[in-house]
Amino acid sequence: MFIVFVIGTAGSGKSLFTSAYSEWLKVEKQDVAAINLDPGVLALPYTPDLDIRDYVNIESLMNEHLLGPNGALIAAADLIAEQVKKLSREIEELKADIVLVDTPGQMELFAFRASGPYIADGLTKEPKAITYLFDSVFSLNPLNYVANLFLSAAVYNRFLIPQIHVLSKSDLLPQEQVDRIIGWSVDPEMLTMDIDNQLKGTKRLLGLDMTHAIHRLGLRFLLTPVSSKSNDGMTKINAAFERILTGGTKFTD
């Protein structure tokens, strides 16, 4: 069994990616299971094999504890951690080769609370990895792209498990813009040049300083463009996971 946690900022396409990749794997004759770990989601583009909403009810938490939506989501994240052993048994019973875990829409609920790494570690001791989604439309601005680099590095620091990086919703941009963002992930000098040319004042200085800082860490953020609409890029993503399974790499393309 191989577990893949799908993580990204709100609106980056986590659920659509989970749905599309799951269907792609089924076509490839892979035994795959999809898990919804977002207790606040109203509708999903796939039918989860395990749904955290069966364990945690946001509306009930709001009513019982007089919480607002955000407070209820925070409480839910901690309640999920209490259910981790039961969830682990259910995941084992699925007997899937690959398990895709669709994490909460608000990334901080999973990535930046103490319960997140605890849940990730407790769900299974089998090999696991993270897919971090860079929203293509958001990342088109070089300062936004650099901010996503920092978020991705922070996620890796929280979980310390292999991580790959996806440029999601790539079909929403012209190919030349997709190529530009991919170029930033490959060539730091190209990113520095575009920050220099496109940004001014404090934003320019901040972008340059953040870029230099992230690359001094020695982490690689090679992006693979993926479209959940056309399935472009799925073969490359699958190959990256296979390399993780065989080689145990921390960061990959």
Q: Are 202 and 166 in contact (CB under 8 A)?
A: no
2-55+84-252: which CATH topology? Answer: Rossmann fold (3.40.50)
pLDDT in tens, 156-185: 999 999 999 999 999 999 999 999 999 999
Q: What is the dihedral of CA 198, 205, 153, 240, to 10 degrees?
A: 30
Does the predicted model carry a pTM greater than 0.85? yes
Q: What is the pLDDT of residues 46-88, one digit of tens each?
A: 999 999 999 988 888 888 888 888 888 888 888 888 889 999 9
- For residue 248, the model assigns a pLDDT of 54
Q: What residue spans define the domains of the chain? A: 2-55+84-252
Do 13 and 26 form a contact (C-beta atoms < 8 A)?
Answer: no
Q: What are the pLDDT digits (tens) for 216-239?
A: 877 778 999 999 999 999 999 999
Which residues, including other chains, have CB under 8 Å from residue 140's CB and lie 6 or more apart? 173, 177, 181
> Mind listing the pLDDT tens digit for each residue in 114-151?
889 999 999 888 899 999 999 999 999 999 999 999 99
